[in-house]
Amino acid sequence: MKRILSVSVIAVGLLSACGTEENDHKTTPKEKMNPFFVEKYDTPFEVPPFDLISEAHYLPAFREGIKRQKDEIQTIINNEEAPTFENTLLALENSGELLSRVSSVFYNISSANTNDEIQAIAEEISPELSAHRDDIALNEKLFARIQTLWENKATLNLNSQQTKVLENQYKSFVRGGANLPEDKKGRLREINEKISLLTLKFGQNQLAETNDFQLVIDQKSDLSGLSDDLIETAAREAGAAGMEGKWLFTLHNPSVMPFLQYADNRNLRKQIWEAYQMRGNNNNENDNKEVLRELVELRAEKALLLGYENHAAYKLEESMAGTPDEVYALLNRLWEPALEKAKKEAKDLQAKISEGGESFKLEPYDWRYYTEKIRKERYEINEEEIREYFSLDNVRDGIFDLCDRLYGLQFVKLDNVPVYHSEVVAYEVKEKNGQHVGVLYMDFHPRTSKRGGAWMTSYRSQSVENGQRKAPVISIVCNFTKPTANKPSLLTFDEVETFFHEFGHALHGLLSDVQYKSLAGTNVYTDFVELPSQVMENWAGDPEFMKEYAKHYKTGEVIPDALIEKLQRSGTFDQGFATTEYLAASLLDMHYHTTNGKLEGDINTIEREAMNKIGLIGEIIPRYRSTYFSHIFAGGYSAGYYSYIWSGVLDTDAYQAFKETSLFDQATAKAFRENILEKGGSEDPMELYVKFRGAKPGIEPLLKKRGLN
């Protein structure tokens, strides 16, 4: 499942602390040496000056940013005039510009290009940032001004976006503990500080566990079944590690997943699988079991402190779902048909094992291997043949063309902007008339300094300054198959869909057109944020559009109709497995976050009992086991991993709107842009969806799409 990281560090609820102007702060010669201590970056489009930023700049900038925002908050509460939208809410929205600037760079780099020094800085500054957030959220005088505005909102003559900012801020303060008595505020501060450190620790442990394992092969016969490209990449990785003449496989997805899919050596499949599914669970310095236990317990305590039954009830109050019961209702409706289909798939795989003269029982490390054999036989699909039509460049150009045809967007490669790594490429995004929309960075391939997965994030959210749109700076980060010495990067179809997915998130950030940055782009409910990304995936596999971008990397030949037909016929193949492992992870997330007390016993036992309760078969494990479930323990998806399937209901219905007219229908695209992509969090998400589609979506199209009906 694809992952989105949205950086908004010094935020009170949904309100980002990004500002538009620093106060009349006079910079000293020493400060001028720090690239963050400027009114605006002296770079094209005011992108971050990555070439000037070093690790030494972060801590001074963080601390100065905290100091400046404290002064700005003090100015707000010292204002003797009655609170207004401008002197309180807008002033708060515009506070913390320096802090937001350094935070957006630091936390994006810590995910995409980290090192030991950056990780140490993160640990050092985390308690200070947590305390600063609480100083704002628990500031009684500041809350009193906001509460006054809230109680008198009917007389303020606010427009719809201003009303939304007020609503978000008021709820944010209440949910942040503003109404708690002093003794409970003190405990809340302690909890928040611990949670910030634990989430950081979880992610660092996971990255270390992923990087620490190496499967080194020195016998060529053990490479049986693997593609030439994968073998070549493994040889290059081994050479880079000082092991010439050997082959090195890692736990990064472009290495481990094709190994599990194609390697004939079952013992080696088991070895790499065990390492993969035991990450953070090895009773070493990187073990995550006690980290997640404490996280779950602290989240539960915080929810109870704030008056909620559990963490899920607290989180879901600000979601389309609204309550844990609604989430369970959706997940349970899908669980039974998905599990039944998965059981049938397991029987097919067991039969394939027997057909080969073997008698062993199907295990999780066998699933992908035998699924691939059945896929080839049943649909005559060869994954390696498919990849030859999906070079990274062709897929990128296809996405650019799609965005042009739908929204009139143009992408111009930039060679004059600084980047944070040599592999990163940057583009200016423009309207068809040449008007600047934003800047887009793309970072495609795995490295030890980058965490796994794929995500979209921003270095600057869209806003309005002096009546003019301030353009966003957006980034998508992926871990796609690397090029070889003789071939460009050739993507699996799953990677193709991931590219389309993350680009959908990027469009949500780039096309944002709201008045206030706290409402911009992906500042929406978690279970709505996946709609723009998942709807884009539909074009990736549509036969009509595929013929326009899927071209052989050598000959330029358009993908044959016969191959497209095979892909179409196999569309619901293995969807029992895919849906079941996803739903299992979603239900595991809900299991942890609907507790209201201690987690008794061993974490592995707790996980196993939770999966036994829902009837998960032994041949499948949750997509993310507890100790490497970074979405919920190191990211923003706690009690929210269900969001992908919730948004799946929306995106399936939304794409149908295009199918009912044409894939590139301008009126439909305009409606989607104006009601979804441009609006951010400025209105209720279901109201926005109904404005686009004309009605609420049903679940039936999703069931049909996944073959679960």
**SS3 state of residue 338:** helix
User: Does the annotation mark 502 as catalytic?
Assistant: yes
The strand pairing partners of 465, in sequence order, are: 468
The structure tokens listed for 154 are 């009917």
Q: Is 215 left (phi over 0), alpha (psi -120 to 50) or beta?
A: beta
Q: Give the H or E element holding residue 235.
A: helix 228-240
* Residue 277, φ and ψ in degrees, nearest 5: -85, 0
The structure tokens listed for 216 are 């080194």
Nearby residues of 123 by Cβ (< 8 Å), 6 or more positions away: 197, 200, 201
* Residue 276, φ and ψ in degrees, nearest 5: -65, -50
From 502, 530, 537, 581, active-site residue: 502
The strand pairing partners of 440, in sequence order, are: 427, 474
The structure tokens listed for 467 are 């009546």
The structure tokens listed for 249 are 């496989």
Contact 140, 50 (CB under 8 A): no
Number of Cβ atoms within 10 Å of the Cβ of 13:
19
**Three-state secondary structure readout of 8-62:** CCCCECCECCCCCCCCCCCCCHHHHCCCCCCCCCCCHHHCCCCCCCCHHHHHHHH
Nearby residues of 615 by Cβ (< 8 Å), 6 or more positions away: 339
Contact 471, 437 (CB under 8 A): yes
Choose among 375, 374, 347: nearest CA to 361.
347
Per the listing, tokens 């809350």 go with 143
Which amino acid would we find at residue 185? K
Per the listing, tokens 């607290």 go with 314
Contact 623, 586 (CB under 8 A): no
The structure tokens listed for 420 are 């944070």
Nearby residues of 414 by Cβ (< 8 Å), 6 or more positions away: 44, 426, 427, 428, 439
The structure tokens listed for 353 are 């094992």
Query: How far apart are the C-alpha atoms of 52 and 332, rounded to whole Å?
Result: 52
Instruction: Please give the full DSSP string across 83-118, using - where no structure is assigned.
Output: P-IIIIIIHHHT--HHHHHHHHHHHHHHHHS--HHH
Per the listing, tokens 């219905």 go with 653
The structure tokens listed for 20 are 């538009």
Per the listing, tokens 């479930």 go with 629
Give the residue numbers annotated as catalytic, written as ranges: 502
